[in-house]
Amino acid sequence: MLEKVEGFNMEKVIEEFEEVTKDAGRVQIETLRKILEDNSEAEYLQNLGLNGRTDPQSFKNCVPLVTHKELEPYINRMIDGDLSSILTSKPITTMSLSSGTTQGKPKFVPWNDELFETTVQIYKTSFAFRNKEFPITSGKALSFIYSSKQFKTKGGLAAGTATTNVFRNSRYTVAMQALKSQCCSPEEVIFGPDFHQSLYCHLLCGLIFCDEVQFVSSTFAHSIVHSFRTFEQVWEDLVADIRDGVLTERVTVPSLRNAMSKILKPDPNLANIIQTKIMGLSNWYGLIQELFPNAKYVYGIMTGSMEPYLKKLRHYAGDLPLLTSDYGSSEGWIATNVNPTLPPESALYTVLPQIGYFEFIPQNKADSDFIDVEPQPVGLTQVKVGQEYEIVITTPAGLYRYRLGDIVKVMGFYNSSPQLKFVRRSSLLLTINIDKNTEKDLQLAVEEASKFLAEEKLEVVDYTSYVDVSKDPGHYVIVWEISGEASEEVLSECCNCLDKSFVDAGYTSSRKVNCIGALELRVVRHGTFQKILEHYIGLGSAVSQFKTPRCVGSNNAKVLQILNENVVNKYFSSAFNN
**What are the DSSP calls for 462-498, one per residue?**
EEEEEEE-SSSS-EEEEEEEESSPPPHHHHHHHHHHH
Specify the higher pLDDT residue, 91 or 393: 393
DSSP state of 205: H
Per-residue pLDDT, 3: 43
Question: Looking at the predicted structure, is the pLDDT value of residue 578 above 60?
Answer: no
* pLDDT-wise least confident of 160-169, 202-211, 342-351, 553-562: 160-169
What's this model's pTM, rounded to 2 decimal places? 0.85
> What's the pLDDT at 397?
92
Q: Which domains does the chain have, with CATH numbers?
A: 11-114+351-426 (no CATH), 135-320 (no CATH), 429-572 (3.30.300)
Task: State the average pLDDT over residues 473-493.
Answer: 92
pLDDT band at residue 567 under the 50/70/90 scheme:
very high
d(CA 47, CA 84): 14
Model confidence pLDDT, tens digit, residues 353-389: 999 999 999 987 544 444 456 789 999 999 999 999 9
Largest CA distance in the chain: 71
Residue-wise pLDDT tens digits, 29-51 = 999 999 999 999 999 999 998 88
Q: Of 73-77, 92-96, 362-366, 422-426, which one has max mean pLDDT?
A: 73-77
Q: Which strand (E) or helix (H) includes residue 130?
A: helix 113-133
Alpha helix positions (H), 345-389: none
Q: Between 260 and 535, whose confidence is greater? A: 260
Cβ(351)–Cβ(420) below 8 Å: yes
User: What is the pLDDT, as a whole number, of residue 369?
Assistant: 46
* Mode of pairing for the β-strands spanning 8-9 and 108-111: unpaired
Average pLDDT over residues 477-505: 91
Pairing of strands 378-379, 460-468: unpaired
Give pLDDT, residue 263.
Answer: 95
Q: Which of 204-208, 230-234, 325-329, 492-496 is predicted with the least confidence, judged by mean pLDDT?
A: 325-329
Peptide bond just before 473 cis, omega within 30 deg? yes
pLDDT value for 6: 47
Other C-beta atoms lying within 10 Å of the C-beta of residue 504: 17
pLDDT digits (tens, 9 = 90+) for 388-432: 999 999 999 999 999 998 999 999 999 999 999 998 877 767 888
Q: Where does residue 381 fall: left (phi above 0), alpha (psi -120 to 50 degrees), or beta otherwise?
A: alpha
**Who wins on pLDDT, 576 or 537?**
537
